[in-house]
Structure 1
Amino acid sequence: MSNDQQYPYHPGGQGPEEQPQYGYGQDPQQYGYPQQGYQQQGYPQQGYPQQAYPDASAGQPDQGAAQTWQGQTWDTQYQPTVQRTDGPAPQGEHAAPVGTGSYPLPPEVHAEPAPPAPAPPAPAAPAASGADGYSAPTTLGNARITDAQRARAEGRSPIIAPGIQPAAITAVLGLLLALGAAIGSYALAVPLVLLQAVTAAGWFRLNGMWPARQGIALAFAGGLVADVALLAAGRENGPAAIIGTLGVWVLLTVVLQLRSRAGADERMQGLMATVASAALAVLAAGHLAAVPDAVTVGAVAVAAAVLVRALPLPAPVSVVAALAVAAGAGAVAGAATDLGAKGALLGLAAGVCALIGLRVASYDYPSRFVHMTAGVALPLTAAAPAVYVLGRVLT
């Protein structure tokens, strides 16, 4: 099944008569290879480019034969036809030939058709809530995510302080309270009403309940009723007016929630949020029941504490610095009033309450609305009990 061919080797472009003999003086016919040229297969004999190749057989005796390379080769004139495997062997010219110098190729392999491309997977359903109560973050759905959602998805701290802008608003509102207390009760009631409105709205949003117009209106109305009761009963009857208003509003809130058609869990959540918001709004009226000098010192101390706390400092350093500045501001404001040096103690207590209010307003990724409402109002609202109690004790 093989065809032996020979390829003449012409070093330096010499003819067969001038070539060195094959195999270092050995006769190629002794290996059984017939000497044939290209002309036997129909190939035109061509010479190689004239290059100076070294004569490897220099010094060997000339035996009058051209040096050739013998070996098994493929017959390039023949193009075999591959026999089909999916039916009977064809006859005639398509049959696989058998002859000298030819090697049959392997049978043709028919490739199976490619399977259809799988359909794109459907978007996965939102993952169930984990142990921490939050589901896995996703980029699907509403593209307008809040800063709180972005912070939660990035794994940042759940505590985000309101920042310098709400602190500045708190400071302005505190100075208005201090100025109104120095002028009189009715002048103090104007910024106090604004403080109560912001407190009621911020507390509902801080608890994730929005919109809650009825609850906000109910809590704000409780603060207004407490203000009217204090102005009517006088500063000396302040505790009775505050506690009485708070008791009535808790009962009213319970009655309204019993008439609600919402589920039990939602009604309980609404009840707690409304009661807490009304209690804070009524508690802010303690500024109206406190001694005017104590209100001035406490408001100035809160304004100074929130401004220092908003500075970009490490948390422990910021807390210590805020309390120190609150005590200093209280001492300075006390020197301008009848409290004197006692104003430092009142300022320190008001500063502690203010930082607690800021911490509550910073809980669990609050939104900008929370920062501009609860972050502004809670420091002053939380300081009202300290202002009332210490003002009574120190004067």
Structure 2
Amino acid sequence: MTNQPYGAYDPSYQGQSYQDQSYQDQRQAAAQGVWPGQQAHEDPYADPYADQQYTQQWQGQTWETQTQPPVAPAAVAPDPAPAAPVAPVTPEPPAAPEAGPEYGPATLAGNSRVTDAQRARAEGRSPIIEPGIQPAALTALLGLLLAGGAALGTYALLVPLVLLQGLTAAGWFRLNGMWPARQGIALGFLGALAADAALLASDRSPAAILGTLGVWVLLSLVLQLRSHADPDERMYGLMATVVAAALAIAAGGYLAADASAVTAGAVAVAAGAVVRALPLPTPVSVVVALLAAAGAGFAVDGSAGAALGAGAAACALIGHRVASYDYPSRFVHFTAGVALPLAAAAPAVYALGRLVA
């Protein structure tokens, strides 16, 4: 044992720690200019892994050290300026109606263009739309057929007359907004055929027209009483059926009248219908149509024909006016618009023909 106190430094002590030895080796290597892990002379037989005990090895992932560009903060939109108050929109006045009777097409999805009838209703104008030149031309054609048939004989007159009666019954129901109305149209048409048969059987006696009309009114009343519709609807259907039958039966007056009267009256109605369809002011058109009808009657049968033609044309213009009422459709124009002028003129042709004969 030595007399040194416990813990004092003893240079001869052989139990130096590894850290002291390592520190002395590092100082010696630095004095020679060689760092740990580097040989003073390149030794081909040196241990290649000797310097790893002094170099720290990273076993995990590393972070990218490249400098990233700074991220600019998102631009904040300025608060929107308060909206200016919106002035109320004043609706534009409806456009003026066009020169001709043009109608928009009927579609399931609706029509972007208002019809002439809708515009007239919105503006508070008259609910009258006249048939136009095409129905007037058909009226003139049918009138000429009646005149030619009367000149040829009774049975030749019967063919255009039956066509006139069918158009009259169908057009009246459609004019009143009742479609389809097959039973009413068939009933009125059958009444007209029954009247024609009665006229032929009675040697064209006008009593056959009155008798058939009375029977058909009673038949229409019985059929409407058997209907299960509400009272208002039954009354409306009864009136439409009675009037349709009456007009179709009354057209049989051409069959009861003299042949010369039928010829003059039918020609006069044809001329008046065409002139009435010309684009003239209504009062002027009516006057000119009456004058044209009287002139056509005069050309056929002299002064008697002129008087008969003027009277027949006056009744025809009433029928034309009725066919123009309450925003009629094209179907109405080509049925009632064609037939009603001639059907309304038939009683005048018979009565005036008896007077001027």
TM-score clears 0.5: yes
Give 2:203's aligned residue.
234
- Match of residue 318, structure 2, among 337, 348, 356: 356
Q: Are 1:313 and 2:275 matched, yes or no?
A: no
* C-alpha RMSD of the superposition: 1.9
Q: Are 1:385 and 2:347 matched, yes or no?
A: yes
Shift of 1:153: 3.9
Cα distance in 1, alignment partners of residues 200 and 115 from structure 2: 42
Letter in 2 for 1:157: S
Matched ranges for 1:225-264 at <5 A: 225-235=194-204, 237=205, 239-264=206-231
Shift of 1:154: 5.3
Write the deviation string for residues 274-320 of structure 1: whole angstroms up to 9, x where unpaired.
00000000000010000110000000000000100000011111111
Identity %: 74
Q: Are 1:185 and 2:154 matched, yes or no?
A: yes
Letter in 2 for 1:331: F
Shift of 1:364: 1.2
Letter in 2 for 1:347: G
Give 2:337's aligned residue.
375
Matched ranges for 1:158-169 at <5 A: 158-169=127-138
Shift of 1:147: 4.9
Give 2:254's aligned residue.
287
Which shows bigger deviation, 239-248 or 142-151?
A: 142-151
**What secondary structure sits across from 1:369 in the alignment?**
helix
Cα distance in 2, alignment partners of residues 327 and 321 from structure 1: 10
Cα distance in 2, alignment partners of residues 218 and 285 from structure 1: 16
Q: Are 1:219 and 2:188 matched, yes or no?
A: yes
Letter in 2 for 1:346: L
Matched ranges for 1:124-143 at <5 A: 143=110
Cα distance in 1, alignment partners of residues 333 and 295 from structure 2: 26
Contact 1:146 1:367 (C-alpha < 8 Å) held by counterparts: no
Cα distance in 2, alignment partners of residues 286 and 190 from structure 1: 14
Cα distance in 1, alignment partners of residues 182 and 226 from structure 2: 17
Cα distance in 2, alignment partners of residues 331 and 372 from structure 1: 29
Letter in 1 for 2:318: I
Shift of 1:149: 3.6
Contact 1:152 1:365 (C-alpha < 8 Å) held by counterparts: no
Letter in 1 for 2:190: A
Give 1:29's aligned residue.
none
Cα distance in 1, alignment partners of residues 228 and 305 from structure 2: 51
Shift of 1:394: 1.1
Higher helix share: 2
So what's the TM-score if we normalise by structure 2? 0.68
Cα distance in 2, alignment partners of residues 243 and 149 from structure 1: 41
Tell me which stretches of 4 or more aligned residues in structure 1 moved more than 6 Å. none
Write the deviation string for residues 67-95 of structure 1: whole angstroms up to 9, x where unpaired.
xxxxxxxxxxxxxxxxxxxxxxxxxxxxx
Cα distance in 2, alignment partners of residues 193 and 153 from structure 1: 40
Matched ranges for 1:26-45 at <5 A: none
**What secondary structure sits across from 2:245 in the alignment?**
helix
Cα distance in 1, alignment partners of residues 189 and 118 from structure 2: 29
Q: How many residues align?
A: 251
Cα distance in 1, alignment partners of residues 293 and 109 from structure 2: 43
Cα distance in 2, alignment partners of residues 146 and 187 from structure 1: 42
Write the deviation string for residues 251-274 of structure 1: whole angstroms up to 9, x where unpaired.
110110111000000000000000
Shift of 1:357: 0.6
So what's the TM-score if we normalise by structure 1? 0.61
Q: Which has the larger radius of gyration?
A: 2
Letter in 1 for 2:324: S
Give 2:117's aligned residue.
148
Give 2:175's aligned residue.
206
Q: 1:255 to 1:146 in 2, by over 3 A?
A: farther
Letter in 2 for 1:247: G
- Match of residue 322, structure 1, among 289, 293, 299: 289
Letter in 2 for 1:225: A
Matched ranges for 1:21-60 at <5 A: none
Cα distance in 1, alignment partners of residues 136 and 252 from structure 2: 21
Cα distance in 1, alignment partners of residues 356 and 152 from structure 2: 21
Cα distance in 2, alignment partners of residues 278 and 219 from structure 1: 4
Cα distance in 1, alignment partners of residues 109 and 125 from structure 2: 21
Q: Are 1:174 and 2:146 matched, yes or no?
A: no
> Which residues of structure 2 form unaligned runs of 5+?
1-78, 80-106
Give 2:163's aligned residue.
194
Write the deviation string for residues 309-362 of structure 1: whole angstroms up to 9, x where unpaired.
00001111111100000100000011xxxxx32110001001101110100000
| Larger RCO (CA within 8 A; separation ≥ 6) | 2
